[in-house]
């Protein structure tokens, strides 16, 4: 099938014709092109192992192995193109879908994901991530805006103030992401803005991941006494990631202004009929 793409005056996002997954982003006016593969994966939650009886839970993120499983290798896609918006609707499984959206005049790509209820019929707790893989050479470095303060440099398997003995290859590299996470090779920068606090990391060079949902079957033994799962069939979540590709030089100006617009977004109130008349005073 032909390459699926959505485009406005600034951006073009292309999708793999066989898998339906996001595969490329181009910034047309700055002549930037970056292969970006985005997909959803899940970590299998540890219930304890030979090394430690610690289970993954509300306080403790501890996957049983380093590599996550793909939620699906394929996405069923549907394309919507209008003058105001172009969207690719991706359906990965019955419990994971996404709309990749490009509004007219917008310099960022919007990914609105819907995840849940996470199935646990196989008795495996699952922690779902959205992962972006690129060929950027990032040298183990990524950036997050932890604690709502300044953006901090994070380095894989490293702490700036002590010699780290890394015992948890995944969780030991996860950091809080309050509003943004980014990677750069010094020339190009890929930034993801979140609409809520999430955990995030860069587990390999050129890669970014954010945890979007989790459902666990065992308590982590930190005092709550309940596993992290909602009653019944489980909860589901919808959220948005805003993806910005820019030169490393221009990126900060873009993501700072966009984050303001996102975190102090306009509020809508409706009123019936023609509404109130306007009074100058």
Interface ranges with another protein (CB under 8 A)? 58-59, 78, 80, 82-85, 87, 89, 91, 97, 99, 103-105, 114, 197, 222, 224-226, 228, 230-231, 238, 260-261, 264-279
Considering the complex, state which of residue 59 and residue 69 has its C-beta at the smaller distance from another protein: 59
CB of 273 to another protein, least distance (A): 6
CB of 224 to another protein, least distance (A): 6
Those residues with Cβ within 8 angstroms of residue 178's Cβ, 6 or more apart along the chain or in another chain: 144, 145, 146, 147, 148, 194, 197
Distance of alpha carbon 78 from alpha carbon 64, whole angstroms? 35
**Quick one: tokens of 67?**
């590599």
CB of 206 to another protein, least distance (A): 30
The β-bridge partners of 194 are 241
Pairing of β 126-133 and β 175-177: unpaired
CB of 151 to another protein, least distance (A): 21
Q: How many residues does the chain have?
A: 281
Considering the complex, state which of residue 103 and residue 158 has its C-beta at the smaller distance from another protein: 103
Considering the complex, state which of residue 138 and residue 198 has its C-beta at the smaller distance from another protein: 198
CB of 246 to another protein, least distance (A): 20
Any idea which residue has 């049983």 for tokens? 64
Considering the complex, state which of residue 15 and residue 190 has its C-beta at the smaller distance from another protein: 15
Distance of alpha carbon 199 from alpha carbon 129, whole angstroms? 9
Distance of alpha carbon 148 from alpha carbon 159, whole angstroms? 20
Considering the complex, state which of residue 165 and residue 281 has its C-beta at the smaller distance from another protein: 281
Considering the complex, state which of residue 78 and residue 187 has its C-beta at the smaller distance from another protein: 78
CB of 155 to another protein, least distance (A): 25
The β-bridge partners of 221 are none
Is there a contact between 267 and 203 (Cβ–Cβ < 8 Å)?
A: no
Distance of alpha carbon 180 from alpha carbon 200, whole angstroms? 9
């Amino acid at each position: 099938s032909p390459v699926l793409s959505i485009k406005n005056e600034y951006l073009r996002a292309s999708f793999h014709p066989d898998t339906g997954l996001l595969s490329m982003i181009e910034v047309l006016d700055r002549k930037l092109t970056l292969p970006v593969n985005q997909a959803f994966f899940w970590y299998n939650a540890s219930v304890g192992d030979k090394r430690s009886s610690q289970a993954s839970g509300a306080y403790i993120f501890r996957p049983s192995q380093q590599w996550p499983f793909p939620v699906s290798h394929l996405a069923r896609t549907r394309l919507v193109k209008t003058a105001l918006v172009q969207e690719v609707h991706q359906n990965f499984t019955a419990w994971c879908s996404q709309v990749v959206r490009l509004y007219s005049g917008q310099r960022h790509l919007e990914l609105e994901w819907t995840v849940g209820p996470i199935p646990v019929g196989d008795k495996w707790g699952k922690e779902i991530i959205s992962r972006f893989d690129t060929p950027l050479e990032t040298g183990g470095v990524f950036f997050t805006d932890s604690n709502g303060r300044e953006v901090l440099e994070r380095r894989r398997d490293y702490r700036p103030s002590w010699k780290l003995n890394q015992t948890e290859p995944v969780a030991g590299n996860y950091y809080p992401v309050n509003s943004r996470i980014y990677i750069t090779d010094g020339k190009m920068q890929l930034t993801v803005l979140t609409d809520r606090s999430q955990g995030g990391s860069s587990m390999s060079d050129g890669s970014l991941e954010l945890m979007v949902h989790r459902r666990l079957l065992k308590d982590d033994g930190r005092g709550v006494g309940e596993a992290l799962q909602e009653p019944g069939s489980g909860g589901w979540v919808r959220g948005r990631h805003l993806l910005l590709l820019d030169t490393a030089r221009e990126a900060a100006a873009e993501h700072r202004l966009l984050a303001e617009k996102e975190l102090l977004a306009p509020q809508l109130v409706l009123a019936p009929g023609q509404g109130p008349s306007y009074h100058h005073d």
